[in-house]
Amino acid sequence: MISKIHPPSSTWVDVPPGSDFPLHNLPYGIFSYDGKKPRVGVAIGNHVIDMSYLFKRGFLEILFMNENVFKSRTLNRFIALGRPAWNATRKRLFELLDEKNPELRDKNEDIALILIPVQKVQMHLPLHIGNYTDFYSSREHAYNVGKMFRPDGEPLLPNWKHIPVAYHGRASSIMASGVHFHRPKGQLMPEGALTPVLKSTQQLDFEVEMAFVIGRENAHGTAISTAEAENHIFGMVVFNDWSARDIQKWEYVPLGPFLSKNFISTISPWIVTLDALEPFRCESPLKETQVLPYLHDEGEKSFDIEIQTFIKPKDSKPTLVSTTNHKYLYWSIAQQLAHHTINGCNMKIGDMCASGTISGPTPDAFGSMLELTWRGERPLILADGSKRKFIHDGDTVIMHAFAQIGSKRVGFGLCKSTVLPSI
């Protein structure tokens, strides 16, 4: 079950107002600094807790004895220990960071080794991702795309309200925030042409998504129920599933996207645990049809997470182009996982399941350039006066997600990547 461990009222670590990483959050990532090998870190304020050194200096021995699972290039070893270890670590960090506890607070030599200023670190891909699934769980997005490409028909296909539609994607090209990429090439069918050409995409797009990380495996041949699904989920990240729309248009029939999707997907650097997201639960949208029993999902199974997307041209200021929210997803993460495994599919530690583009009910909440510009018919005007139908070379797309109720806030850090010219 999700832990009910509550943080202390204050911490001795300086946390600036409005920080993504207050004491309640404590997200996990992989970082390096000063030429040291990548290892597990936990974010708080403007610092990263070096969990490997925290273990070496004796502050975590009570939990892990002689095994330093934090001296690792991925989080998979720690995640594999299961929820009891996650809960115990969270509780121990609360103890050590409590303003009233001198155990670590008064040891300057230890603090110098354990608490690393964020400006000194480099973030890395936090997981070994063996498998990646991309869902299509936003009703508004599916409706918009259907309306664009099937203007005379029903926007939503008959199966959409009955199953969380998905496909398997390419895990090897999921990259950490800050990894840039060259504009991809593929086959296009020019308007009015009879044969395709090989060229760089002219319709490069972002997709605003969230993804969850598998933290507990199921045996092959067994299913995970909606009631049990969250016990199999470690946490969530922001997920930009870059897309080449013109390549996709030509290649997707009859099997779906291929080269239009597998060149890169970008994730935020920090995995925010479900424990940290617990206060931000909310209801999912009401189902419009009766779903099969295995997809019944009661209670607050969505999260009120705002996701802002900015486009920053080279040598110019960023422009906010979209503000959407995880709560708009029609299918919850529990329903997505239950459907994924109903046939006995075995999930592995570190597997990633993305939501699909998240769009809201108003145009400013659309989660892709395809929708924001309506296939390029309504270009966006950026702060520097330039126009965008799709993403240009030199543009940096930045996504920033956070949940907030009053003064309580958790964030994911920035998910960003810059488009370089095609090679």
**Catalytic (active-site) positions:** 141
CB atoms within 10 A of CB 148: 14
CA distances from 366 to 212, 285, 320, 358 (A): 21, 17, 12, 7
How many angstroms separate the CA atoms of 63 and 322, rounded?
Answer: 43
- DSSP readout, 244-256? EHHHHHHH-TTT-
Taking alpha carbons only, the member of 74, 69, 68 closest to residue 38 is 74
Burial class (CB in 10 A: 0-12, 13-18, 19+), 253: exposed
Q: Which helix (H) or strand (E) holds 184?
A: none
CA distances from 306 to 303, 328, 354, 402, 403 (A): 9, 10, 16, 6, 6
Is residue 333 helix, strand or coil?
A: helix
Is residue 139 helix, strand or coil?
A: helix
DSSP state letter for 292: P
Length of the chain: 423
Ranges of beta strands (E only) in 221-346 are: 233-240, 243-244, 265-267, 272-273, 281-282, 302-303, 306-312, 319-325
Residue with tokens 């300086």: 14
Q: Which helix (H) or strand (E) holds 197?
A: strand 197-200
Is residue 355 helix, strand or coil?
A: coil
Q: Tell me the torsion sign for CA atoms 212, 215, 220, 221.
A: negative
Residue ranges in 32-153 assigned as alpha helix (H):
51-56, 61-64, 76-80, 83-97, 102-105, 108-114, 139-149
Task: Give residues with Cβ within 8 angstroms of 358, minimum separation 6.
Answer: 138, 141, 208, 209, 210, 307, 324, 325, 326, 328, 329, 367
Per-residue burial over 175-196, b = 16 or more CB atoms within 10 Å of its CB, e = otherwise: bbbbbeeebbbbebeeeeeeee
Is residue 124 helix, strand or coil?
A: strand
